[in-house]
Structure formats: structure tokens, C-alpha cells
Amino acid sequence: SIVNPRFPAAVGARSITCQKIAGAIFGAFRGLLPPENVMASSNDVLPAIVFSGKHRRSGRTYVYLETLGGGAGARLGRDGMDGVQVHVTNTSNLPVEALENEYPLLVEEYGLVPNSGGAGISRGGLGIARQIRALEEGTVFGCRSDSHLTCAEGVFGGEPGKPGRLVRNPGRPDEAVLPSKVSRLVLQAGESMRIETPGGGGAGPADQRSPNRLAEDVRSGKVLPGRC
């Protein structure tokens, strides 16, 4: 089975499978819990990005690997948390300054993805955007992600969160949207990789969210004007 593979079954990124199992368990309990304790689906994935190569300055091989959080599911009384690890992990992030000091990489963007949380009385948490440029030729990139085709479900009429996304050279003429899993992708100096992690599902009908909370969504940049 997928949770007990035997040779020669292909394996990889077992943490994603663990997250899906945890998400399924949370979903199974929705029919047993009081409504105020029911949570919409979270990002339920643990995307991992890897950059590697030979550092021109030191001549040594380097490997930069990081896992990223996403949006947590909302409850009727509370919005989902933004940009967090969920379920089976709680790893910290690598600060931008440390990353750029250690590796021949440039972080072009690190922030939350607007509109990625599912709308509702309570809004789902926002996913993370991380965009990194390779500064040296022959940088090798890999990614293990998921939920790029399916979304985190809402509850009680809440809307689903936005799915994940992986893009090579975003905003350029050669921009390419890639599948959730890639291996040994060789980048040239100046090429960028962008990953957007999934948002969490919303809780309750979106048209019942209070005007004050909608205004705060726009003011904080979590929702773009005209999209709330």
C-alpha cells in the first residue's frame, strides 16, 4: 500500500504522505466534533525545495534543502493561521540573510500569497511564496510538493484554499509552470524558481463575513481589492 511500500515500489517525500494521513484523520472527526471545534482542511503537505551545486568561492559542493509551511484551515470562530507547518512537523525556516551568506543564491521574494486562503465567515490561512534566483551556472534544483491540482476543502459552506504552484522564471518570456515534483533541473545563472504553497480552507459562507473583517483583510494585504 502507499503507507507500507515494499521493494521495488518507488518511494520519496514520505512526509507528504504523513501529512495527507493526518489531514484525513482530521476530516474523519468532523462528523463527531461540535461545529465550533471543526477545522477546515489545511495545506496538508510539506513541500521541500533543494538547490545544490559547487560553490565557486570555496570549490565545495553545497546542498540547500528547506521545507515550507502553508495555510491552516479555518474554524467558525477563528481564521486559519498563515504560513505555518501543520500536523506532523514544526520546523523553523532559514532566514534570508543566512541563506544568501552561505549559498550562491538570491532570495527575490519571501512572503504570503494574497487570496490563497479560502473565503468564509472565517478565512483560511495564506500559503507561502518563496522565489530564489541561482547566481552560478549549473545549479541543480529539485522539488517535492503536492496539492497543486486539488485544494484544501472548506467547511460549513466555506470556500477551498488556493492550490500550490511551482514556476520557473516567473514573469519572464520563458516562464514555465512545472509539476509539483521535479528532479535534477539544471538552472543557468540568473534563472529563478518560485514555489507557492497551498492555502487553508475557509469556514462558513463567505457572504457572512463581517464588513470590518473584510476591510482588515484588504488593509493587511491578505486579500487584494475587489477579491474579498
Sequential pLDDT tens for the chain (228 residues): 888 889 999 888 888 999 999 999 999 999 999 999 999 999 999 999 999 999 888 889 999 999 999 999 999 999 999 999 999 888 888 999 999 999 999 999 999 999 999 999 999 999 999 999 999 999 999 999 999 999 999 999 999 999 999 999 999 999 999 999 999 999 999 999 999 999 999 999 999 999 999 999 999 999 998 765
Task: Cell numbers for 28, please give them.
Answer: 474523519
pLDDT at residue number 227 = 64
pLDDT for res 215: 95
pLDDT at 2: 84
DSSP state of 155: B
| pTM of the model as a whole | 0.93
91 close to 48: Cβ distance less than 8 angstroms: no
* pLDDT attached to residue 54: 92
Query: Up-side HSE of residue 158: CA atoms within 13 Å toward CB?
Result: 38
DSSP reduced 3-state for 50: strand
Q: Which residues contact 55 (CB under 8 A, 6 or more apart)?
A: 61, 62, 103, 104, 136
DSSP letter (8 states) at residue 78: B
Q: What is the pLDDT of residue 190?
A: 98
Give the chain's end-to-end CA distance (angstroms, integer).
Answer: 42
Alpha-carbon gap, residue 75 to 42, rounded angstroms: 11
